[in-house]
Amino acid sequence: MKELIIATKNKGKMKDFIGLFEPFGIKVYSLSDLSEPVEDIEETGTTFQENAAIKAEAVCRMFNIPVIADDSGIEIDALNGAPGVYSARYAGEAKDDLANLEKVLDELKGVPEEQRTGRFVCVLAIAQPGQKTIFKRGECEGTIGDQAIGEHGFGYDPIFYPAGSSRTMAELTLEEKNQISHRKNALDKIENWVKQL
């Protein structure tokens, strides 16, 4: 079976990716699955693209094989695009999903439904030895609810209603999320690269 390293330690993202790569017959490994431990990579960029490059290129250098990284987050219009690139640490360094979404709900208190628009964004970076890094961006438009609902997914999924859905992203099954997500939309754009692996 073909194999690919994803430069992430996020278990929720990895679940998405395992499902997304399965149809291609590719087994994906996260940085937590490797026998050699990989230290945390500092995300010093100010854009999704910069951080995706930092993660993909660092791990590509370590193993000298092609690596994909995902930098993603949620942009909320009423918060001027926040949490954005800082989505993982919005409520502090602990990277606490529940604290993050509670902070968003707090900041959106009193904001009417029609102004609660936003989107998930995912930038994928493909780093390959001796080649220029490739980037593709995927988005998923939606609205932010006023309470957390649903048990699936991770991060901000329980407060995000994908456009046209009466269920939050966390009420969708993995298969349903993987048909419409920002991650799926970005992956669609590198399908040809994935197929030639």
CA–CA distance, 10 with 87 (Å, rounded to integer): 13
Each residue 67-106 as x (binds ligand ITT by CB under 6 A) or -, in order, gives ---xxxxx------------xx--------x--x------
Two tokens, residue 25: 């017959």
* Alpha helices in 22-128, H assignment, sequence order: 48-63, 97-107
C-beta of 25 vs 154, nearer to ligand ITT: 154
- Determine if residue 195 is labeled as part of a ligand binding site: no
Here the tokens at position 172 are: 């969708």
**97 catalytic residue (yes or no):** no
Long-range contacts at 50-56 (CB < 8 A, ≥ 24 apart): 51/85, 52/123, 52/124, 52/125, 52/135, 53/125, 53/127, 53/133, 53/135, 55/7, 55/8, 55/125, 56/7, 56/125, 56/126, 56/127, 56/133
Cβ pair 184, 20 in contact under 8 A: yes
Q: Which of ligand ITT, Mg ion, none binds 143 (CB below 5-8 Å, type-dependent)?
A: none
> Which among 45, 42, 66 is positioned nearest to 56, based on CA atoms?
66
Closest distance to Mg ion from the beta carbon of 43 (Å): 5
Is 49 a binder of ligand ITT (CB under 6 A)?
A: no
Window of 82-90, 104-112, 149-157, 180-188 that interacts with Mg ion by CB under 5 A: 82-90
Bond before 129 cis per omega within 30 degrees? no
Determine whether the annotation assigns residue 32 to a binding site: no
Task: Determine whether the annotation assigns residue 183 to a binding site.
Answer: yes
What mask, x for binding ligand ITT by CB under 6 A, covers residues 114 to 153?
Answer: ------x--------------------------------x
Task: Provide φ and ψ at 34, rounded to 5°.
Answer: -85, 150
Please identify which residue in 17, 135, 156, 161 interacts with ligand ITT, judged by CB under 6 A.
Answer: 156
Is 89 assigned a ligand-binding role in the annotation? no
DSSP one-letter code for 41: P
Binding residues for substrate: 8-13, 72, 154-157, 177, 182-183
Q: Which residues bind Mg ion (CB under 5 A)?
A: 88
Residues marked active site are found at: 71
Q: Which residues bind ligand ITT (CB under 6 A)?
A: 8-10, 13, 43, 70-74, 87-88, 97, 100, 120, 153-157, 181, 183
